[in-house]
Amino acid sequence: MTGASEGAAGRPELSRGKVLQKALELADARGIAALSIRSLAQSIGTKPMSLYYYVANKEEILDGLVDLVFAEISTPQAGREWKEQMRRRAHSAREVLRRHPWAIGLLESRKVPGPETLKHHEATLATLRAGGFTVEQTARAYSLLDSYIYGFALQEAGLPVSGGEPMAQVAAPIMERFATGEYPYLVEIATQVVMQPDYDYGNEFGYGLELILEALKPASAG
């Protein structure tokens, strides 16, 4: 009963899942740079080397994190209207990547996709195919949609967190260099759109997404 499995008393009971879960929390809370084996072990309440029983190395933890993030993205359902399904998925993906911005940087160096990642891709492909896209059209549509989603998330991650007025903060130091009049168009866009009090870059996501969804079409020519 009080074996290595179920924690009967106060035993926290370590497991691969718990390691990854805590790693995700730590990355969210303190940033991916602060995710070290030692800090992770401490936040779990164990010792550094104990983690290596559940995980081969740190790379494997990062792989697991990316897979966890993919698992959070809402899975589209084949058979339903493809456009609405893709819209839902895209917005969900953006939200997830905004919650875990560090995951974007991780994507660049990941080699093997995890099981949840594969499941997600499978469901997305199924939805497009069921929507009437040919195999080739599906490949292109998927590439286009995901490129937009990842790219938007990447740009969003390069901004100061998000909220009411942080745009003025990122713009201010740059504005000084602008005093020279070197960058009139950057000044224009900064003052006339970005620094407007109610401007939220996140809202631009929908614009580009709709434009792409509108232009995508199954059947006939590609």
CB of 17 to a second copy, least distance (A): 20
Residue located via tokens 């895209």? 90
State the binding string over 131-170 for a second copy (x if CB under 8 A, else -): ----xx-xxx--xx-xxxxxxx-xx-xx------------
CB of 174 to DNA, least distance (A): 23
Question: 64 near 23, Cβ under 8 Å?
Answer: yes
In DSSP notation, 137-173 reads: HHHHHHHHHHHHHHHHHHHHHTS---SSSHHHHHHHH
7 scored as a contact of a second copy (CB under 8 A):
no
Residue 14 to residues 45, 95, 106, 108, Cα–Cα distance (Å): 10, 30, 25, 30
Q: Where are the alpha helices (DSSP H) in 31-57?
A: 37-44
172 scored as a contact of a second copy (CB under 8 A):
no
198 scored as a contact of a second copy (CB under 8 A):
no
CA 143 to chain centre: 16
46 or 77: CB nearest DNA: 46
Residue 202 to residues 4, 152, 153, Cα–Cα distance (Å): 46, 9, 9
174 contact, one of DNA, a second copy, none, CB 5-8 Å limit per kind: a second copy
29 contact, one of a second copy, DNA, none, CB 5-8 Å limit per kind: none
Question: 123 near 76, Cβ under 8 Å?
Answer: yes
21 contact, one of DNA, a second copy, none, CB 5-8 Å limit per kind: none
Residues of this chain, 89-118, that bind a second copy according to CB under 8 A? 101-102, 104-113, 115, 118
27 or 141: CB nearest DNA: 27
Please report, as ranges, the residues that interact with DNA according to CB under 7 A: 2-5, 14, 35-39, 46-50, 52-54, 57-59
Residue located via tokens 């790693």? 23
Length of the chain: 222
Question: 85 near 45, Cβ under 8 Å?
Answer: no
Question: Binding residues for a second copy, per CB under 8 A?
Answer: 101-102, 104-113, 115, 118-119, 121-122, 125-126, 129, 135-136, 138-140, 143-144, 146-152, 154-155, 157-158, 173-174, 177, 182-186, 188-189, 192-194, 201, 204, 207-208, 211-212, 214-216
